[in-house]
Every structure is written in structure tokens, then in C-alpha cells.
Amino acid sequence: MPSASPRTVRSVVFVEGVRTPFGRARPDGLYAGTRADDLAVKTVRELLRRHPELPPERIDEVAFAATTQTGDQGLTLGRTVGILAGLPQSVPGYAIDRMCAGGMTAVTTTASGIGVGALDITLAGGVEHMGHHPMGSGAEPNPRFVAERLVSADALNMGVTAENLHDRFPALTRDRADAFGVASQAKYAAALAAGRITPDLVAVGLRDPERGWGLATADEPPRPGTRLADIRNLATPFRAGGRVTAATSAPLTDGAAACLLAAEDAAEELGLGARMRLVSFAYAGVDPAVMGIGPVPATHKALHRAGLSIEDIGLFEINEAFAVQVLAFLDAFDIADDDPRVNPYGGAIAVGHPLASSGVRLMTQLAREFAERPDVRYGITTMCVGLGQGGTVIWENPHHADYEGYRPTATTTDGSTR
């Protein structure tokens, strides 16, 4: 019986990413009257609109993530979102969950399928309507977790795990966290004013029983103009006398994000863009009581697999679930708190963190930063994950002089090049 021939791993490119404006998860928030799956549908339709050169029947898989898979973000999201978005019925889809890293995992899972030749083109994304589905709602953690001391009781409260990081690493002071939170707001405001945020957004029609029809075109959570003096006396809701405040935490958020991935040869065949190329990725587990440290071992693993060092990385997109979590990562790699390579457009403390969608937001921002910085060859998207995990993806910039591969030059709908 003949043996199977060895496979060559194919290169995977990030064609484009988009997201909805993010809204505050509260009864009067942007999306209080909008379904979660409709948010996801908007992102898929926008990707198809921006890429008329892509025949929809060429899409091989739709993977969509949500942390709370029930109600309007349940029912096998990838399949239902694909149907609702008007994809041919021949296009399959599925749902995925890795809590905050759900969208990131949708990307790396479908990219793996592309790499081994099982898929050519995929859609991957995430959605979270935390106003409809607060984190952990409907879940019933097994009592063995605490009764058998498998994890600390603290591990089930993300804010407490952030306080635990402050405890474990005394250098991670509240002053540093406060300064980082203020800087995130300032960097986001500057990026918005410079036109670096809006091109990746898709407007969402809104219907509110009391306020009537509307249109979401901008992020709701940011607080521009935040000063250190404004936040010094904020309460510490997760622990009396603690250090984590609303100003150093990502707000509860509603929103969706999605991206288009392709094998490099398929992208070239169809004339699709190639805004980034995937180099490597890794996930790692850590003590759930300090889940915020998860990006550190995940990044070590991803760098090792890529044959790179931290010095090779020119841009970092780190999810700001909490300021202390980002600071722990920076200290682990000897990076300054104000290093301009880190979250140049600000981060989740300003824009929000709709759990499963945030990984794709990081990637979409990095792709735009790559286009502005042809001097940077490699960038990282990384995030902590609830219950003690971290995820990291390393990307290569096709605008860099040393990049070898498909390098199209095309004009996007917003007038930039890719």
C-alpha cells in the first residue's frame, strides 16, 4: 500500500479585518436593542463588500467565537452567521470558545486548516454582547474546582486575578497602572483623530424602542481627556484597598470583529490583499489565579517556534484586559511602560473588550500599523485568557523589504494601500 506523500505547509495571509464600533454593555448602551448575531453578520457582509473579487462560494469555512454561547450568540454561530450574511448554503461553519481568545483561536484554527491544505479561504471572528450575556452568565462551575483545590476561588473572578498580579509582583504598582490607563486613552484619541481607527469599522444600524432608529459609527467606551488627577481616588471594586480600578480595566463591552484569511497562493490567484502573513502561534496555561501572566509563556513558545527573539518584534498589540496584566508582560521582556512599539493606537482600556472578538481587533490594528511602518518586519498579537491561559500570534509585514512572497499593491475602500 503506497505511503502518503509528505505535505508542505502553505503560507497563510491575513487579507483584511473589520469590526463593529464597540458599545458599552449596559441598558442604555449602543447595542441594547441589537442582537449579537446581527453584529457578527455586519462584519461578514462588510468583508464581502470590500472584496468583490472573492466569489463567496470559494469560502471553505466560517468560524465564529463567543464566550457565552446561548441566546442570540448561540446555535453554532459560524453556520448561522454565514447563512444570515447570505453566504451560499454550501459554505460550512462552526462555533468556537476559548473565552477572551475565542476570535484569536478561530483565526489560528482555520489558518491551520489552510496550512495543511484542507482549506483555501476562511472567515474567522468573534462576537460578545456582554449586555445580553454577562461574563459567566448561565455557567455552573463544577464544585470540584474549589472543593478539591484544583484552582483558587479567585480564579473565577478576573478582577481579583488582576489584584493577585499586583500582589505577586510588587513592582507592578497602582501608580504605574494608572499611568498606563491614562496613556491608553490618550493614544486611542490620537489614533482616532489621525484617521487610523474609523477605516476598520463597519457602521451598524440600530433600533431602540424608545429612541427609534440610529446608526453606530464610532466606539462608545473611550474617555478622551482622562487625566491622572481624575482617577487617583477611584474605588477598587475587586478588593478593599486594592489597586485595580475602572480606569485600569477594560470596560464591559458589546461588539464583533471578523477577518478574511487565505492561503498565499489562493490570495494571489484571486487578487486578494495580503496585509500580514502568519509566522507562528502558541497557547499556554498558567495558574488561573494569575491568569494575566498567560501571554508571557505563550509568547516564549511562539518566538521559539518561529526561530525569533523578542528583539525581532517591532510592534506589539497586547490586549488590555487590565493594565497590570500588560505591565507584567512588559517587565517579563524588559520593555518600558511607554515603549512606542506597544499598542500605538491605545487598547482595550480605552476601546473596550468584547471578549471573544478582541483577538481579531488586535490583528486588524496590527495590519494597519504594518502598512504605516514598512521598517517593521514582525509584530505580535497577544492576550491573556480566563481560567489561566495566554495566546500569542506572530505576524510578518509584507511591506518590509526582506519579505518574500505574494506582495500585492492594491487600494482598499478607504484609500490606503495593502
Catalytic residue among 133, 166, 384, 399: 384
Strands, E, within 69-198: which ranges?
Answer: 93-96, 121-129
Residue (of 412, 27, 42, 16) closest to 216 by Cα position = 42
Q: Indicate if 259 belongs to the active site.
A: no
Q: Indicate if 384 belongs to the active site.
A: yes
Residues 6+ apart with CB under 8 A from 330: 336, 337, 339, 342
The amino acid at residue 15 is V
Catalytic residue among 129, 166, 353, 399: 353
* Whether the Cβ atoms of residue 406 and residue 274 lie closer than 8 Å to each other: yes
| Helix residue ranges per DSSP H, 194-275 | 228-231, 264-270
DSSP 30-58: TTTTS-HHHHHHHHHHHHHHH-TTS-GGG
* Whether the Cβ atoms of residue 131 and residue 26 lie closer than 8 Å to each other: yes
Which three three-digit cell numbers place residue 226? 482622562
Residue (of 402, 367, 403, 394) closest to 304 by Cα position = 394
* Whether the Cβ atoms of residue 282 and residue 302 lie closer than 8 Å to each other: yes
* Whether the Cβ atoms of residue 67 and residue 102 lie closer than 8 Å to each other: yes
Catalytic residue among 100, 129, 132, 166: 100
Distances (CA, A) of 60 to 19, 45, 119, 259: 21, 16, 6, 14
End-to-end CA distance of the chain: 47
Task: Give the Cα separation of 116 and 93 in Å (integer).
Answer: 18
- Catalytically annotated residues: 100, 353, 384
